[in-house]
Chains A and B, each alone.
Chain A
Amino acid sequence: MAEEAPILAAEHVSLRFGGVRALTDVSFSVRRGEIFSIIGPNGAGKTSMVNCVSGRYRPTEGRVLFEGQDITRLGPNRRASLGIGRTFQNLALFGHMSVLDNIMVGRHHLLKTGLLRGMLYWFGGAQKEELEHRREVEEIIDFLEIQHVRKAPAGTLPYGLRKRVELARAVAVRPRLILLDEPMAGMNLEEKEDMARFIVDLNEEWGMTVLMIEHDMGVVMDISHRVMVLDFGRRIAEGQPEEVLADPHVRRAYLGEADEVTQPAEEVV
């Protein structure tokens, strides 16, 4: 079937650390404008896959294409400049910095003025540029409803808010593709609902394509357009949430409906 070129394509990606095979021959593509989720048991290689896309890892074999461009060899900061943003599984905020400063770091690559002009702050137009950035940052802060903590040091915030600040920072990079590594881990029901709403809004109103890892099956089934399932570093299914859920391989590998008596796969939230 004829399709628009995918925004992200992984082609036969394998990743090995010495003798450990983290990923084996994984191919998938993410279409522009969709919410694409990767699910799978712990240790299935989900985060490794996201790291191959963000540039933290380089695949041992295979290619990663972003908007048709081969980015396999590019460093993570180059990929961020191209339009790939991400959040981390374990919160990675700059704890001593204010929320605002955390988000401003995300604007770094959008800065046009160099160091020297930056030093000649008032002459070089850097101030004007900065004001413009600040306006856009305020927009992001409003959207994620973190106005009330914008001056607070990020490290002092409660967990749910920190997750939101981290999302805000990733959004500040102005990515076209945003990678979310377990955005709802450790949240209570209300926080999860908020986060799900933010993700859907980012996708529908801000036009961002979302690639997400999430363990909460309820959320995944609700908001994902398509789902890929990994198990032991291999892709075992891909498709609409309902069809994936119905797939016998998936039920066996992930949801713990085994053909022999085993413990259900444990969820770590």
Chain B
Amino acid sequence: MDLTLLFQLTLNGLIVGALYGVVAMSFVLIYKASQVVNFAQGEFLLVGAWVCWWFLTEWQLPFWLGFLFTLAFMTVFGLVLQVVVLRPLIGEPVISVIMATIGLGIFFQALMKWIFGVFAKPFPPIFETERVSVLGLDVQTVYLASLGISLLIMLGFAWFFTSSKHGLAMRATAFDQQVAQSLGVSVPKVFAMSWAISAVVSAVAGVVVGVVNGVSSALSFYGIKVFPAVILGGLDSILGAVLGGVIIGLLENWAHYLDSQWLNWGNMFQIAPFYALVLILLLKPYGLFGTKNIERV
């Protein structure tokens, strides 16, 4: 038993899981507000990371400025995507909307490869010290920062939905669009806002992962990891998304531990979340926190 490794992996799991949680939250945000299952969520990370990389390397901007520009860009990106692509699809069958988001994913995946090439490119170093030691464990500074950012975003979400009127309007819209409208809430605005926020938050996660691993199309895998996380938590629960993300992150790393210590299969950490996904769907088909759709006749 290598306990240090176990602790190290647990810490990694928490950090990566928090990032999954953030991406899952932004996925759930779109689903809750506008009932769209966004298969292009991973590409939001990808686009955000590449745009930030571009600002930092091509424009030689300091990190904070490039980061702010990226957020501004992603706001517009999310808005435009919703207004141009998704808005005309309102009222169309769910399958059409899903196809459209899958198409968007493929499109941006290819577009990024076309513009930035197929090889991973590293971010310029951002922190003075690459690694720090926490309780005797060796952690990359950026990971630590990412945990902080994840927590901030989660607190921000919590505040937004419970205390801000736009958050309330969004919850109201998610609950019943007709009623929300009768109270003066503009549903198209809420939709657009949810896409913009989701794009921005995903981009933050994208930048963090990009700084750690370099930017490449592998980033969009986060969009796939989101599915076990949100299904674990329940498709329409923000809190569930966060917990689901953390659980998936831990599961991955513990699977890795199991694998490296005893099994030596080689890639268990990649598939463990999906085993969990299948198991959860068998036991709790609505997820841990999801709402059951009860049809009353």
Q: Which residues of A contact B (CB under 8 A)?
A: 54-56, 75-77, 80-81, 85-86, 88, 92, 94-97, 101, 104-111, 115, 118-119, 121, 130, 169-170, 172-173
Contacts and interface: CB of A to CB of B under 8 A. Distances in A.
Contacts of B186: 75, 77
B171 A77 contact: no
B261 interface: no
Contacts of A95: 175
Contacts of B183: 77, 80, 85, 105-106, 108-109, 169-170, 172-173
Interface in B147-198: 162, 164-166, 168-169, 171-172, 175-176, 178-187, 193
24 contacts: A56-B178, A77-B182, A77-B186, A77-B187, A80-B181, A81-B184, A85-B183, A94-B175, A94-B176, A95-B175, A97-B172, A97-B175, A101-B162, A104-B168, A105-B180, A108-B168, A108-B172, A109-B184, A111-B165, A118-B165, A121-B164, A170-B182, A172-B183, A173-B183
A153 B184 CA distance: 22
A76 B168 contact: no
B166 A80 contact: no
Contacts of B185: 77, 105, 108-109
Given A80-B184, A169-B183, A108 B169 contact: yes
Contacts of A170: 182-183
A88 B179 contact: yes
Interface in B24-62: none
Contacts of B172: 94, 97, 105, 108
A169 B178 CA distance: 14
A76 B181 contact: yes
Contacts of B179: 88, 92, 94
A54 B184 contact: no
Contact of A118 (B162, B164, B180, B187): B164
A80 to B, nearest CB: 4
A80 B193 CA distance: 20
